[in-house]
């Protein structure tokens, strides 16, 4: 029912949304002040490129241990266009949309609106999505521009089939029967408006100012007799100054900035019966999160072929709660918690040849629990868990990367020591809901390899391999001693390969393969998720006839009908670890664009 995103093991604890990874779209944070992000509002059809920053280099962005994902929306082309597109496929897949973009005087624009319906491959897994994304850039002068970003998403129905046990899965039961009986589902609306102003003043001096305002309304009926109803409003902005010019006769780039965010949640939890509220309220509180940050970064080429980078970020995150549900059995849990940290980093790069770059980085990272993780208390209904602490890590990375003619390559070796790693768990004697605790100490060691090549004209390939050796070093609970156990939810080996061919006539084909190793799904390392290999194929053609551009395509997901669990629920007390993925399925579509020239 949601997209899980993890980098170097950070983010696996998320039962929904994205944690441990910072998400930005055109410089505007999609990550809330408490560290949680949603991907529903990101429009990949309008994305020009996506940049992933892993590990220590991401410390500049704050409150995320794994890294940063930045999505950059395409600019409108010089020749304006209007495009209609539709996609259909198995499991009730049907998507339609309209997209337009172009340049008109000093205004560059891209606007996309779409509607998606999907019945899903499991019973009780229907999904609906209406998405609007717009980007409007005004050129104020040759050295200044203002970009206005608009985003709106409405998900009127997201059924939650929940997870199942291995025995249920083997019997062909792919949906948790309790999810059907309780009619577990959610409805979400979110909207964002962002402004980004960029100005070059004097020579080599650059100023960037951003401001954003957003809201998110959620009503969710869980697979047990509790429903969540919260309204979120958040606002923020940032100011960044960069000076890119020689210092002492050597190339240098200095950046300094500040970020300010505020989040306000009105949270109400109710008991529900089969998707209908009862009159019994279980949580009634207002929650606020404020995040203030200062950061700097300097990249200095002190001698030929050598560059040193130093930087740091100070974050102050304050959580506060006003508890309005006060009874003889439930005392006032109002209160606040403040979490702050300075995260420094230092890096060194040596580039003896244009195609060879050797580097090393050391950094610390800081990540707070989200409000959902803080308010989920095993013994109380309201307030914040006083025993849940922020996660801190010290990260070391060495690597090599470069481009040579038709080839690209990259290798990175990393060692991460984590204090108070945030771990999700469930209690069998309570309604099945997720709580969180800290593991005393853990270690993330890994290797990442990547290679890309243009094999022949029009034919390219790429391969990426990740080895992950992640384990607990000091982790003891009432359930047992887990020192030396593997961190659940992370495969030891993962391999990706793709092959892409494009002919001058417009015909193209794309084949990709993903192998995911088996992995443990509980802290005790008693249960596993099996390894799997999934292959996908897509064929299409792009042709232009005068003012018209036609692009039909067809694809097959899971070409060889692999049976596997696409995601897992770590530490499920009811042993419902598995969320079965779709088998082989076919889809196809057509886009028709008119070019105004």
C-alpha to C-alpha distance for 543 and 76, rounded to whole angstroms: 20
Whether the full predicted model's pTM is greater than 0.95, yes or no, is no
Q: Indicate the burial class of 325 (C-beta count within 10 angstroms; 0-12, 13-18, 19 or more).
A: middle
Mean pLDDT, rounded, for 8-22: 83
Backbone angles phi, psi at 563, to 5 degrees: -95, 120
* Residue 274 pLDDT class (50, 70, 90 cuts): confident
Backbone angles phi, psi at 370, to 5 degrees: -80, 170
Q: Which two tokens stand for residue 46?
A: 């309008």
C-alpha to C-alpha distance for 328 and 364, rounded to whole angstroms: 45
**Lowest mean pLDDT across 24-38, 57-71, 538-552:** 57-71
Looking at the predicted structure, is the pLDDT value of residue 281 above 90? no
Backbone angles phi, psi at 331, to 5 degrees: -70, 170
pLDDT digits (tens, 9 = 90+) for 240-259: 999 999 998 999 999 999 99
C-alpha to C-alpha distance for 208 and 161, rounded to whole angstroms: 44
**Lowest mean pLDDT across 240-254, 331-345, 495-509:** 331-345
Looking at the predicted structure, is the pLDDT value of residue 481 above 80? yes
Here the contacts of 86-91 (C-beta below 8 Å, separation 24 or greater) are 86/589, 86/590, 86/591, 87/587, 87/588, 87/589, 88/587, 88/588, 88/589, 89/585, 89/586, 89/587, 89/588, 90/585, 90/586, 90/587, 91/118, 91/119, 91/120, 91/121, 91/582, 91/585
Q: Which two tokens stand for residue 133?
A: 């994304």
Distance of CA 193 to the CA centre of its chain: 20
Identify which of 112, 111, 118 has the alpha carbon closest to the alpha carbon of residue 87.
Answer: 118
Q: Sign (positive/negative) of CA torsion 74, 77, 81, 83?
A: negative
**Lowest mean pLDDT across 120-129, 199-208, 319-328, 443-452:** 319-328
Cβ neighbours of residue 405 under 8 Å, at least 6 residues apart? none
Q: Which helix (H) or strand (E) holds 375?
A: helix 371-375
Average pLDDT, the chain: 91
What is the reported pLDDT for 12?
82
Place of tokens 């409003």: 233
Mean pLDDT, rounded, for 248-275: 90
What is the reported pLDDT for 428?
61
Backbone angles phi, psi at 274, to 5 degrees: 60, 40
Identify which of 63, 61, 68, 54 has the alpha carbon closest to the alpha carbon of residue 395.
Answer: 54
Query: Could you tell me which residue, 434 or 442, shows the higher pLDDT?
Result: 442
Identify which of 47, 69, 122 has the alpha carbon closest to the alpha carbon of residue 92.
Answer: 122
pLDDT digits (tens, 9 = 90+) for 211-228: 999 999 999 988 888 888
C-alpha to C-alpha distance for 30 and 113, rounded to whole angstroms: 19
What is the reported pLDDT for 442?
92
Query: Could you tell me which residue, 189 or 327, shows the higher pLDDT?
Result: 189
Distance of CA 440 to the CA centre of its chain: 26
* Residue 525 pLDDT class (50, 70, 90 cuts): very high
* Total Cβ atoms within 10 A of residue 327: 8
Place of tokens 């994305």: 47
For residue 289, list its beta bridge partners: 263, 319
Query: Could you tell me which residue, 330 or 540, shows the higher pLDDT?
Result: 540
Distance of CA 32 to the CA centre of its chain: 12
């Amino acid at each position: 029912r949601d997209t899980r995103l993890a980098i170097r093991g950070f983010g696996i604890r998320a039962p929904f949304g994205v944690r441990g990874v910072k998400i930005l779209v055109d410089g505007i944070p999609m990550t809330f002040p408490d560290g949680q992000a949603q991907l529903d509002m990101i429009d990949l059809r309008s994305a020009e490129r996506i940049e992933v920053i892993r590990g220590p280099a991401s410390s500049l962005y704050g409150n995320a241990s794994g890294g940063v994902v930045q999505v950059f929306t395409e600019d409108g082309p010089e020749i304006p266009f209007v495009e209609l597109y539709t996609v259909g496929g198995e499991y009730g897949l049907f998507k339609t949309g309209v997209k337009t973009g172009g340049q008109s005087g000093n205004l560059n624009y891209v606007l996309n609106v779409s509607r998606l319906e999907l019945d899903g491959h499991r019973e009780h897994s229907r999904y609906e999505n209406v998405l609007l994304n717009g980007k409007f850039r005004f050129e104020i002068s040759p050295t200044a521009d203002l970009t206005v970003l608009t985003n709106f998403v409405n998900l009127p129905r997201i059924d939650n089939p929940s997870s199942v046990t291995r025995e249920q899965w083997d019997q062909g039961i792919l949906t948790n029967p309790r999810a059907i009986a309780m009619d577990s589902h959610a409805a979400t609306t979110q909207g964002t408006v962002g402004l980004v102003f960029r100005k070059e003043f004097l020579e080599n001096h650059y100023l960037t100012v951003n401001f954003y305002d957003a809201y998110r309304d959620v009503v969710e009926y869980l697979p047990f007799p509790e429903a969540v109803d919260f309204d979120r409003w958040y606002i923020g902005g940032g100011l960044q100054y960069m000076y890119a010019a020689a210092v002492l006769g050597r190339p240098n780039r200095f950046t300094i900035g500040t970020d300010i965010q505020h989040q306000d949640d009105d949270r109400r939890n109710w008991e529900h019966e089969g998707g209908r509220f009862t009159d019994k309220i279980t949580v009634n509180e207002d929650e606020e999160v404020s995040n203030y940050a200062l950061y700097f970064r300097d990249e200095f080429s002190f001698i030929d072929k050598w560059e040193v980078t130093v930087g740091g970020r100070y974050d102050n995150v304050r959580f506060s709660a006003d508890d309005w549900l006060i009874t003889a059995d439930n005392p006032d849990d109002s209160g606040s918690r403040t979490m702050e940290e300075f995260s420094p980093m230092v890096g060194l790069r040596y580039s003896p040849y244009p195609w060879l770059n050797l580097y090393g980085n050391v950094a610390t990272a800081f990540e707070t629990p989200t409000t959902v993780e803080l308010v989920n208390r095993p013994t109380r209904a309201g307030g914040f868990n006083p025993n849940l602490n922020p996660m801190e890590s010290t990260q070391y990375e060495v690597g090599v990367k470069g481009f040579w003619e038709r080839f690209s390559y990259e290798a990175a070796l990393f060692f991460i020591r984590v204090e108070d790693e945030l771990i999700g768990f469930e209690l069998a004697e309570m309604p099945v809901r997720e709580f969180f605790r800290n593991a005393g100490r853990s270690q993330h060691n890994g290797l990442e390899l990547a290679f890309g090549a243009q094999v022949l004209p029009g034919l390219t390939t790429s391969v990426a391999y990740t080895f992950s050796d992640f384990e607990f070093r000091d982790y003891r609970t009432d359930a047992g001693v887990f020192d030396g156990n593997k961190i659940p939810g992370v495969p030891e080996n993962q391999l990706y390969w793709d092959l892409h061919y494009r002919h001058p006539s417009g015909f193209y084909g794309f084949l990709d393969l993903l192998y995911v190793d088996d992995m443990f799904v509980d802290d005790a390392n008693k249960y596993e998720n099996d390894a799997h290999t999934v292959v996908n194929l897509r064929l299409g053609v792009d042709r232009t006839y005068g003012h018209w551009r036609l692009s039909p395509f067809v694809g097959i997901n899971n070409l060889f009908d692999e049976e596997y669990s696409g995601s897992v629920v770590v530490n499920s007390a009811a042993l419902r670890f598995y969320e079965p993925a779709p088998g082989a399925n076919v889809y196809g579509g057509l886009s028709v664009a008119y070019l105004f020239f």
